[in-house]
Chains A and B, each alone.
Chain A
Amino acid sequence: MNGKIGSDLGRSAALAVLLWVVATHASAVPSFARQTGQECAACHVSWPELTPYGRFFKATGYTIGKTFWSSDKPGVNYVPAAVMAQASISSVRNNSATDPDTGDTTSVMPRQNLPVFSGASLFVATKLNDYMGIFYQWTYDNLAYDDAGVRKGHSSIDNTDLRAAYKYAPENADIPDWIFGLTVNNNPTVSDLWNSSPAWGFPFATSPLAPTPAAATIVDGGLAQQVAGLGAYAWWKKTIYAEIADYRTANVMANALRRGLPYNDPGGVFAVTRNNPYWRVAYAHDWDVNSIMLGSYGMVANVYPDNLNTTTPTDRYSDVAVDAQYQYITDVHTVTAQATYIWEKQSYNASYPITQETGSGYGAGPTPANPTDRLRTFRIKGSYYYERVYGATLAYFQTTGSADEGLYGTTANGDPNTPNSNGYILQLDYLPVQNVRLLLQYTGYGKFNGARSNYDGTGRNASDNNTLFFDVWVAF
């Protein structure tokens, strides 16, 4: 144990040295910045939030700037890779849980108030040719725990998006009238241009250790890095945007898109059928220093309840969401706001009958007490940045849904429990240089997994999970 703590402290110290080196050599910037010769501020209000120019850069397939290899001189123009790392300290308001039967007390979260090296990502992010580019992320999670509760660092693929795009400006056009593109990616909404949809939405970093609410809709990260999708999009006069995609389990030839995920473990990842459509439409408008987007997105996912058995019937998750974004961007002041509301209908066409019949589901799959359930998630956040250095963010989140004893157990009164959770996030950011972020985040819960008080039958209250999180986040 001491050895582990020592090794973590060693890593933290090494990271501190690295941070110092990066902070004092601010010319070191990630690969897209090396590709374009532009600074982070060109594409990001505050990373990962995109500016209008950043959306154009993404929509046009990451192709602005140079390719990394040089055809007219030996060698490369720039290194097409980048590294990101995070170190953090988390503190949960009440870190003790008491077993009501034995009276034994255990920690809810490991490493309370101790510095941890959270993990690091390697990116290959670059223009491939005038029409294609790639964003590929591989992440090492230093805080992965195995079944026995032993910390065991683990690395796996993260968000990945290979794009091909084309700008069409007919005669007499003064901007590209159309931007068309194709995307191959491994996470519904990762291809999106706005920061109100889940993959690139707030919060951009949270405690890797603290307890978080259990229920989430499937478009809200449920299939991240488990599926492979091919999408096509079109953006007309940078005003009307539409995208359709089809996702399926990232196996066989697409296996690389879920590399490192526990797809052979019962319940480890989702297994879906061959066709799971995703769609996105948006109206966008930029004027003066303002930018607005109103949109909708959603998907239908047909999921095998037992991820190791694709011979059974499937459950269907149908998600429809609306979202909006507003940005006010000047050199000194920036204000951004995003909101989304996701409705999900869960049709347990496979799991409900088998649960009724046998009392258990397929494999490690769900055991719903209702044939259909609903799940709804709402999130809204607003941020202000001064000179892109000092930032403050306030966010509210809420998930509500059907009471279902089979999925969520029972309340203290013995009634079927709900997945309901809500809370707020207060966050302060400081970016001493553009590729180093220090953030202090407080998450407060009003409800947690169904209740305000005694949500888990051990007397634990939602507010006991309130979390203070300090994070050092660098990219270079």
Chain B
Amino acid sequence: MTIPYTALLAAALALAGVVNVASAESATPAGGPRTPGEERAINLCSTCHGPRGISTSPEFPILAAQREGYLVAQLEAFQAKTREEKAAHDFMWGIAGNLDAATIRSIAQYYASQPPAAGRPGDPALVAKGRELWEKGVPDRSIPPCASCHGAKAEGVADFPRLAGQHTKYVTRQIEFIQTLTRKAPVMHGIVKDLTPDEMQAIAVYVQSL
């Protein structure tokens, strides 16, 4: 009388074992083995950051085509708990805490090599104002143009992050965090500390449109 249920349970556990083996095989697709970063990005990071790093929720940043060095630096900052705004603390400390240096590098390479997200048009007046700030800064207040570090089209330069196509909400929030020293970025703090909320919004709407 008791055999079927025990057998079912045993079958379930056995299937879990089979799945274990199968997964090792499926991790090696025809095009060559997946890197640890690809495996992690596809099977875990995509849950919040979207397929190939293009998230739909502005609560989570777009990672597609992001600068590799910047991604490594951020994952290391989450791991070291030196990037400590609430979302970093709640979501990313735990995720990054389980990564080794090679996997961090591999994840960064995966996202850096993905096609970028398409720009999304915004309010033309805000876009125009944002472009002005991006290209010229505010010389009167000694605010340099964003383009000088982040690139003419916000594509990112060296380890300075790509902002083109990024969610407006995410960009404004990060500028606020840097302004209030919630997120430690000494160079950026000096540059954005005098930006007004309207200016932040204009810059963020502009980069999202690129």
Contacts and interface: CB of A to CB of B under 8 A. Distances in A.
Q: Do A and B come from one complex?
A: yes
Interface of A: 33, 36-39, 41-42, 52-53, 56, 64-66, 129-132, 164, 166-176, 180, 182, 184, 228, 230, 248, 252-254, 274, 286-289, 329-331
B6 A166 contact: no
Contacts of A36: 94-95
B56 A253 contact: no
A171 B30 CA distance: 7
Interface string B109-144: 000000000000000000000000000000000000
Nearest to B78: A37
A132 B29 CA distance: 24
Contacts of B181: none
B57 interface: yes
12 contacts: A37-B93, A37-B98, A41-B90, A52-B47, A64-B44, A132-B16, A167-B43, A184-B9, A230-B8, A248-B5, A289-B57, A331-B87
A254 B26 contact: no
Contact of B58 (A168, A175, A182, A288): A288
B98 A253 contact: no
B197 interface: no
B188 interface: no
Main SS of chain B's interface residues?
A: helix
Interface stretch (B17-25, B68-76, B153-161): B17-25
A288 B13 CA distance: 38
B2 A253 contact: yes
B59 A330 contact: yes
B90 A166 contact: no
A131 B16 contact: yes
A37 B97 contact: yes
B20 A131 contact: yes
A252 B1 contact: yes
A167 B47 CA distance: 12
A37 B94 contact: yes
Given A174-B52, A252-B2, A331 B47 contact: no
Given A131-B19, A164-B16, A253 B5 contact: yes
B185 interface: no
A173 B56 contact: no
A180 B23 CA distance: 12
Interface in B10-58: 12-13, 15-16, 19-20, 22-23, 26, 29-31, 42-44, 46-48, 51-52, 56-58
A288 B20 contact: no
B42 A173 contact: yes
Given A176-B43, A288-B58, 6 more contacts: A36-B94, A38-B95, A166-B16, A171-B29, A172-B29, A182-B15
A174 B111 CA distance: 11
A132 B46 CA distance: 21
A374 B95 CA distance: 49
A288 B9 CA distance: 40
Interface in B92-108: 93-95, 97-98
A274 B5 CA distance: 10
Interface residues of B, number: 41
Nearest to B173: A331
A167 B52 CA distance: 17
B107 to A, nearest CB: 14
A330 B46 CA distance: 18
Contact of A180 (B1, B19, B42, B51): B19
Contacts of B20: 129-131
B5 A254 contact: yes
A164 B26 CA distance: 17
Contacts of A65: 94, 98
Contact of A169 (B43, B58, B95): B43
A66 B26 contact: no
Nearest to A250: B5
Given A131-B20, A166-B22, A175-B46, A253 B6 contact: yes
Contacts of B30: 171
Chain B CB within 10 A, most for which of A129, A169, A286: A169
Given A36-B94, A175-B42, A230-B9, A170 B19 contact: no
A167 B26 CA distance: 10
A166 B19 contact: yes
B193 interface: no
A170 B26 contact: yes
Contacts of B23: 131, 166-168
A38 B95 CA distance: 7
A231 B44 CA distance: 24
Contacts of A172: 29, 31
A174 B51 contact: yes
A184 B12 CA distance: 9
Contacts of B31: 171-172
A287 B90 contact: no
Contacts of B90: 38-39, 41-42
Contacts of B48: 52-53
A174 B56 CA distance: 14
A-B interface, 5 closest residue pairs, ranked by CB to CB distance from nearest: A37-B94, A171-B29, A164-B16, A174-B51, A38-B94
Contacts of A164: 12-13, 15-16, 19
A175 B46 CA distance: 6
A289 B59 contact: yes
A131 B52 CA distance: 24
A167 B41 CA distance: 13
Contacts of B59: 289, 329-331
A82 B1 CA distance: 36
A33 B47 CA distance: 17
Contact of A182 (B16, B52, B86, B98): B16
B8 to A, nearest CB: 5
Contacts of B57: 286, 288-289, 329
Contacts of A252: 1-2, 5
B52 to A, nearest CB: 5
A288 B51 contact: no
Chain A CB within 10 A, most for which of B9, B16, B59, B93: B16
